[in-house]
Structure 1
Amino acid sequence: MERLFLIFITGAFLASCGSSESNKTTASEVAASNKVLAAEDFSTPLDSARWKVEMDDLPNSSVSVKDGKLVLDTKGGVTVWLNQKLKGNIEITYKRQVVVADGPNDRLSDLNQFWMATDPRQENLFTRTGKFEEYDSLSMYYVGFGGNYNGTTRFREYQGNGVKTLLFDLDDEAHLLKPNHWYTINIKVEDGVVSYWVDGEKFFEYTDETPLEEGYFGFRSTWSRHEIDELRVISLEI
């Protein structure tokens, strides 16, 4: 049986991160600084209170940890939330690849994420079953990288009332997914400026006149297989 693993660390800085086992940052290295709000390398037992999984109930679907990676292997929609409300100026960084081989759910699509997510109707965010339309009522930022069968990469702001404002829409090859490629994703929220970076390239930058200043982060996908590693959330507050 596969097991889930988690490291949750407060008040530390993760000096470096890499996708290979040899480059994984140790807990002692993380503890060398005081700016990390959360860090995860999927190599110690999961504290289930820290991760909330919402997954469409379809056959051949699972969320697990295998070989030190979080694996989302689902036929339908899935969101894996970090159960920690983030506030202020932050940077979220993680590694992720879309696996395309011979798996039943393998499809090059939907390297997606939610952040600064809240539910205007209730305090408890984690009440959904993974179906994408269930999230329409949230207030949050969303990037769908390689959505629509890898035909679009879009940045939206969900307004909390069913309106999902489209901020940017890219469809050229340079901004779509490659199979089995380990991407480094960076998301920054700083003084009202929200930006999304892929392998060091800025895909989107948006100045929000009424910025979302707190909320939850979640890995999001549908009908595909993803491997995720080396999550870190850093405070950018001076």
Structure 2
Amino acid sequence: MKRLISLALLLLLAAAAGAADTAALSRGRLIFADDFNAPLDPAVWVTEIAPGPNSSVTVKDGRLMLDTRGGVTVWLNRRLQGNLLIEFRREVLVAGGVNDRLSDLNLFWMASDPHRPHLFTRNGVFEAYDDLSLYYVGMGGNHNTSTRFRRYGGGERKLLQEYSDAPQLLQPNREYLLQVLVKDGRTTFSVDGVEFFAFDDPAPLRSGYFGLRSTWSRQSVRALRIWQLD
């Protein structure tokens, strides 16, 4: 009987391992990972931060810390293309810090500059990005009253979808699992496994840069992974 139980247990463990392998394969090929265990390499990450006091972008205890009074964008200096899955964990910290404010968990992806040869020419002020081509999510924007999905292009910031209900707004000191999927002309944004936004783009942005965006808040980012799905 013990032998049968042991055999059954081994079969269950093998099945679980096989399922895990299948899940890993479904993510595609890992092309980038950062656990933020060392200071940011300026060849890998480009920080654009609005000038002002008490504002910084640092790495601490395996987390990228965005602690700013004004706007900030931290760009991954790697042009992405094709079908992708971007995944990371992010938290808006509210614990009495000088910049603590529950607002603006934001990000850009598939960003490019149609007017300049180089993308990284801005100062972190939000309006400076208006002329880019990109997808944008602002989760908990406007003092945590809205969560919006936009497509930038041709000087227009087209609003695709919007929420103002509590389930799609921010909670303080809650770490979210965020996933951005770009696949065959469709892009989606999911939070903790729940799809918030999806867009079938008739003129899809097939390559560009990924940026972590925020303003007037203190946030942490960890466990960033990007998979190529092609």
| TM-score in same-fold range (> 0.5) | yes
SS in structure 1 opposite 2:116? Answer: coil
C-alpha separation in 2, matches of 1:175 and 1:47: 33
Q: Residue 52 of structure 2 aligns with which residue?
A: 58
C-alpha separation in 1, matches of 2:206 and 2:189: 16
Post-superposition CA distance 1:166-202 (Å, at most 9, x none): 0001000000000000100000000011100000000
What TM-score comes out, normalization by structure 1 length? 0.84
Shift of 1:67: 1.2
Shift of 1:47: 2.4
**More deviation, 150-159/161-170:** 161-170
Q: Residue 6 of structure 1 aligns with which residue?
A: none
Equivalent residue pairs, number = 207
Structure 2: gaps (5+ residues): 1-19
Q: Residue 19 of structure 1 aligns with which residue?
A: none
Larger Cα Rg: Structure 1 or Structure 2?
Answer: 2
Q: Residue 226 of structure 1 aligns with which residue?
A: 219
C-alpha separation in 1, matches of 2:157 and 2:40: 33
C-alpha separation in 2, matches of 1:219 and 1:110: 11
C-alpha separation in 1, matches of 2:206 and 2:217: 31
Higher relative helix content: 2
In the alignment, does 2:170 pair up with 1:177?
Answer: yes
Post-superposition CA distance 1:48-92 (Å, at most 9, x none): 211000000010000001111100000000000000000000010
**Structure 1 pair 34/204, CA: closer, same or farther in 2 (3 Å)?**
closer
Aligned counterpart in structure 2 of residue 131 of structure 1, from 107, 125, 130: 125
The equivalences for 1:21-100 within 5 A come to: 35-100=29-94
Q: Residue 180 of structure 2 aligns with which residue?
A: 187
The aligned amino acid for 2:160 is: L
SS in structure 2 opposite 1:188? Answer: strand
Contact 2:28 2:228 in 1 (8 A): no
Runs of 4+ in 1 over 2 A off after TM superposition: 44-47
The aligned amino acid for 1:221 is: S
**More deviation, 37-46/115-124:** 37-46
**Structure 1 pair 204/34, CA: closer, same or farther in 2 (3 Å)?**
closer
The aligned amino acid for 2:205 is: L
Q: Residue 121 of structure 1 aligns with which residue?
A: 115
SS in structure 1 opposite 2:136? Answer: strand
Q: Residue 199 of structure 1 aligns with which residue?
A: 192
Shift of 1:46: 3.4
C-alpha separation in 1, matches of 2:95 and 2:40: 27
Structure 1: gaps (5+ residues): 1-14, 17-29
Identity, in percent, stands at 54
**Structure 1 pair 235/67, CA: closer, same or farther in 2 (3 Å)?**
same
